[in-house]
């Protein structure tokens, strides 16, 4: 796994991932840690993934779905 978003309020482990930033959901304020495998860490990719995650979180609110504690991010 190269990149994940992990809900900061969860008990999911972030060990082994390099922190690339944090994204806060506009709908509920939940914060997500964006982490990359240190061998593949790339700030440009992380910025693109943050935009993708923003859309996914918004869609979850539209469908009245809860956010997962861990979301695998696209490359």
pLDDT digits (tens, 9 = 90+) for 5-40: 999 999 888 889 999 999 999 999 999 999 999 999
Residues 51, 28: Cα–Cα separation, whole Å? 17
CA distance 23 to 32: 5
The pTM for the full model equals 0.91
Contact status, residue 50 vs residue 23, Cβ threshold 8 Å: yes
Q: How far is 6 from 22, CA to CA, in rounded Å? A: 9
- Residues spanned by the domain of 50: 3-72
% of the chain with per-residue pLDDT over 70: 99
Smallest CA-to-CA distance from 30 within 59, 52, 54, 9 is with 9
Domain count for the chain, please give it: 1
């Amino acid at each position: 796994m190269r990149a994940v978003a992990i809900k900061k309020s969860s008990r999911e482990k972030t060990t082994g991932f390099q922190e690339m930033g944090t994204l806060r959901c506009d709908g509920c304020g939940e914060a997500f840690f964006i982490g990359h495998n240190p061998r593949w860490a790339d700030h440009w990719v992380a910025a693109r993934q943050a935009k993708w995650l923003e859309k996914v979180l918004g869609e979850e609110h539209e469908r009245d779905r809860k956010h997962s504690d861990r979301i695998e991010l696209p490359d």
